[in-house]
Amino acid sequence: MLKMFTTQLSGLFKRLQEQEEFALEDGARLLAQAAAGQGTIYIYGTGEMAAVHLEAVHGAEPLAGAAVFDAEKVTSADRVLMFARYSNDPEALAIAQKLADSFIPFAAASTVVGGDEPGLEALADVHVDLKLTKGMLPDETGGRFALPTSMAALFVYYGFKFIIDEMLAEYEE
């Protein structure tokens, strides 16, 4: 089972890298504006996606200029990086709408799901689709399980981080 999960996870990471490459670059450029200037990169994640802000702020190699999201402290000089399992997450959408209404640029990552209302992909300046609509492994009843959303989010976070780090290194030269 673990071998099959590893194969599926590797495939997911490869799809994200190939299909979301431009969004990662655009998002990193947007976020780097705060890190290179007087702003902060605020990281926000709903539910299990809190793993991202924990990694970004408290991990072994924190993201330069990053802080845990605090709606009371965000200014126009700041940027926000938001993570949610699905693009229609009500908590994430409420914050995204406030950011959009305040003209605070932000990037988001979530699995795009259809619906009547616009999701994070419509509100964010840059959106990365996590592409996790169902579990990665089949069960005995024909269903699916193993939905590694926080692993996909951390992969995307590191994509942003690597590009931001490169940009900031070039900026400092």
**Residue-wise pLDDT tens digits, 68-85:** 999 999 999 999 999 999
The pLDDT value recorded for residue 109 is 98
- Taking CB atoms within 8 Å and a gap of at least 24, the contacts of 140-148 are 146/5, 146/8, 148/9, 148/12
Can you tell me the distance from the alpha carbon of 25 to that of 9, in angstroms, rounded to the nearest whole number? 22
Instruction: Please name which of 90, 143, 87, 144 lies closest in space to residue 110, comparing C-alpha atoms.
Output: 87
**pTM for the full model?**
0.95
CATH class of the 19-172 domain in this structure: alpha beta
Can you tell me the distance from the alpha carbon of 15 to that of 113, in angstroms, rounded to the nearest whole number? 18
Strand partners, 86: 111
Instruction: Please name which of 95, 38, 36, 106 lies closest in space to residue 70, comparing C-alpha atoms.
Output: 95
Res. 10: pLDDT tops 90: yes
pLDDT confidence tier of residue 54, bands split at 50, 70 and 90: very high
**Residue-wise pLDDT tens digits, 117-164:** 889 999 999 999 999 999 999 888 988 999 999 999 999 999 999 999
N- to C-terminal Cα separation, the chain: 48
Can you tell me the distance from the alpha carbon of 131 to that of 32, in angstroms, rounded to the nearest whole number? 25
Contact 16, 130 (CB under 8 A): yes
Rg (CA), the chain: 16
